Amino acid sequence: MNRILEDVIHKNAATVERITSENTAGYVVADNTANAVAETSFDNTGAQAIVKHLHGVLVSSCQSVIRDLDPTNKLCFLRVATRKFEYLVAPEDYFTITVVQ
């Protein structure tokens, strides 16, 4: 896990605590360069699945779709409502955060 990500996670620990205490199924923070789980409230298998599928497949295909439609545009946030959960995905430069609620 890289240094920047460690700092960010440490700085926002209190906020994460507050948000996850209400109505949240869990969260995953993943490192973009290594495509690895950095911090999560899920078990390893569940977190790995989210990183692989949501971050690996969905976010990158979404970014290229947005760029195809308008090359000057950029993906900011992705909200996927499903029958059971809602996935909130925030792709940043160094890390990607997914919250499941």
Q: How far apart are CA 96 and CA 39, in angstroms?
A: 11
Mask for 61-90, x = binds a second copy (CB under 8 A): xx--xx-xxx-xxxxxxxxxxxxxx-----
**Minimal distance, residue 27 CB to a second copy, in Å:** 15
**Minimal distance, residue 21 CB to a second copy, in Å:** 24
Q: How far apart are CA 50 and CA 54, in angstroms?
A: 5
Q: Are 9 and 29 in contact (CB under 8 A)?
A: yes
Binding site for a second copy (CB under 8 A): 49-50, 53-54, 57-58, 61-62, 65-66, 68-70, 72-85
